[in-house]
Chain A
Amino acid sequence: MAALRTAVVCAAVLAAVGVVPRPVRAQLAPQPTCPNAACGSVAGRIRVAGERHFVAGASILVVPASTDSPVGPKRRTPATPPDNPAWSITATANEAGRFEVSDVPVGAVQVFVVAPGLQASQRTVEIKPGKTAKVNLFLATDAGTPYRTVVRAEAPEPTSPRRHELSREEIQTMAGAQGDPLRALQNLPGVARAPASLGLLVLRGAPPGQSGVFLGGHAVPRAFHVLSLSSIFPADVIERLDLIPGNFDPAYGNATGGIVLVEPRAGRRDGVHGHGEIDLAAASALVEGPVGDGSYVVGVQRGYVDAVVAGAGAIVERVTGEASGLLLPSYWDYQGMVDQPLPGGGAFTLRMIGAGDRLRGQGPANGDDPNAGFDFRTDFHRLDLVFRKRQDRIRFLLTPSFRYEFGRLALASNTLTRRRDDGILSLRAQGTGKISRFVDLTIGADSEIDVYRTRQEAAVVDPETFAARPAAITTERGVASTLGVFTVADFHYGRASIRPGMRANAFTVESRQAYSIDPRASARLALGQRWAIAGGVGRYSQVRQITDRDSVDLIDQTSGIGGGNALLPPVFSRFDPQIEFAPQDTDLSVRQALHASVGAEVDFNGGWGLSTTGYFRDQDNAEPLLFDGRRVGFSTRSRNLGAEVLLRKRLTGKLYGWVAYTLSFGELRLVQAGERFKGTRRVSDFDQRHNLIVVASYILPRHWRIGARFRWVTGYPFTPVIGSVAVRGGFVPVQGNRNEGRLPPFHQLDLRVDRTWTLQRVAVHAYIDVQNVYNRQNPEAILYTADFRAEAGFVGIPIYPTIGVRVDF
Chain B
Amino acid sequence: MTHRVAGHSIGFVALCAACTPSLDPPWVLARDRELALRVEVVTQGPYGDTLDPEKPTTNEVLPLDTVLARPLIVGPDGIIPLRDLSPQWYLCGGNGNCLLRADATALRPCDLEFLAPDEPCALAGADSLEFKLGDFLPAEDADAVFLINRAPTIGFVASADVGPGTEACIDRIAERKSLEGCLWMERTLSLGSLSEVVDALTALGGEFEISESLAPLLDVPRNHNPAVSAFSVSVDGGEPDLYAPEATITVPVGATITVSYQPSDSDIDRYTVEIDGEKIDVEDQLQGRWFMSREVAQLEQALGQTSVVWEASRADPVTAYFVVHDDRRAEAWGWLHFEPQ
Contacts and interface: CB of A to CB of B under 8 A. Distances in A.
B23 A327 contact: no
A736 B178 contact: yes
Given A722-B176, A796-B19, 6 more contacts: A553-B4, A734-B176, A734-B179, A781-B12, A785-B30, A787-B33
A548 B2 contact: yes
A91 interface: no
B13 A553 contact: no
A361 B7 contact: yes
Interface string A721-749: 01111111100101111001000000000
Interface stretch (B40-48, B180-188, B314-322): B180-188
Contacts of A737: 176
A785 B19 CA distance: 16
Interface stretch (A78-86, A146-154, A370-378): A370-378
B337 interface: no
A561 B13 contact: yes
Instruction: Please name the 3 residue pairs, one residue from A and one from B, whose CB atoms are nearest each other, closest first.
Output: A723-B179, A361-B8, A786-B26
A311 interface: no
Interface residues of A, number: 65
Nearest to A549: B2
A796 B14 CA distance: 11
Contacts of B180: 723, 789-790
A726 B331 CA distance: 14
Nearest to A584: B1
Interface string A565-603: 010100010010000000010000000000000000000
Nearest to B103: A676
Contact of B8 (A374, A726, A787): A374
A723 B182 contact: yes
Contacts of B325: 728-729
B4 A795 contact: no
A163 B186 CA distance: 57
A33 to B, nearest CB: 77
A736 B176 contact: yes
14 contacts: A553-B4, A553-B5, A554-B7, A559-B11, A561-B16, A564-B23, A566-B11, A568-B12, A723-B178, A725-B186, A728-B37, A740-B176, A785-B26, A796-B19
Interface in B71-111: 96-97, 100
B33 A561 contact: no
Given A564-B23, A777-B19, A725 B13 contact: no
A373 B5 CA distance: 11
B177 A566 contact: no
A547 interface: yes
Given A785-B24, A793-B21, A374 B31 contact: no
Given A547-B2, A559-B10, A727-B96, A722 B26 contact: no
Contacts of B26: 563, 785-787
Contacts of A777: 19, 21
A325 interface: yes
Contacts of B280: none
Contacts of B50: none
Contact of A725 (B7, B10, B155): B155
Given A552-B7, A786-B26, A792 B21 contact: yes
Given A720-B178, A726-B33, A737-B176, A325 B16 contact: no
A783 B5 contact: no
Interface in B12-70: 12-26, 30-31, 33-35, 37
A562 interface: yes
B329 A728 contact: yes
Contacts of A723: 173, 178-180, 182, 184
Given A555-B11, A562-B23, A781-B12, A374 B5 contact: yes
B177 A722 contact: yes
Interface in B185-202: 185-187
A563 B11 contact: no
Given A723-B178, A797-B19, A561 B14 contact: yes
Given A325-B8, A785-B23, A793-B21, A559 B14 contact: yes
Contacts of B19: 777, 795-798
A169 B10 CA distance: 37
A361 B6 CA distance: 11
Interface in A347-371: 361-363, 371
A95 interface: no
A721 to B, nearest CB: 9
A191 interface: no
A795 B20 contact: yes
A546 interface: yes
A409 interface: yes
B132 interface: no
B7 to A, nearest CB: 4
B8 A327 contact: yes
Contact of A728 (B2, B24, B187): B187
Contacts of A783: 20-21, 23
Nearest to A576: B4
A142 interface: no
A362 B30 CA distance: 36
A424 B291 CA distance: 60
B211 interface: no
B279 interface: no
A739 to B, nearest CB: 12
B187 A727 contact: yes
Contacts of A510: none
A55 to B, nearest CB: 49
Contacts of B187: 727-728
A72 B84 CA distance: 96
Nearest to B187: A728
Contacts of B173: 723, 734
Nearest to B169: A723
A92 B7 CA distance: 69
A547 B2 CA distance: 7
Given A563-B26, A722-B172, A797-B16, A568 B184 contact: no
A643 B25 CA distance: 46
Contact of A372 (B1, B8, B329): B8
B9 interface: yes
B7 A371 contact: yes
A304 B74 CA distance: 50
A781 B155 contact: no
Given A371-B7, A372-B8, A561 B186 contact: no
Nearest to B186: A725
A789 B178 CA distance: 9
Contacts of B185: 725-727
A295 B66 CA distance: 89
Interface in A1-50: none
B34 to A, nearest CB: 4
Contacts of B329: 728
A360 to B, nearest CB: 9
Nearest to A582: B1
Interface string A745-779: 00000000000000000000000000000000100
Contacts of A554: 7-12
A550 B186 contact: no
A167 to B, nearest CB: 32
Contacts of B13: 559, 561, 566, 568, 781, 795
A275 B198 CA distance: 77
A566 B5 CA distance: 20
Contact of B23 (A546, A563, A568): A563
A553 B184 CA distance: 29
A606 B97 CA distance: 65
A725 B184 CA distance: 5
A726 B23 CA distance: 20
Nearest to B21: A793
Interface in A780-809: 780-781, 783, 785-787, 789-790, 792-798
Contacts of B31: 789-790
A552 B182 CA distance: 36
A322 interface: no
Contacts of A725: 96-97, 155, 184-186
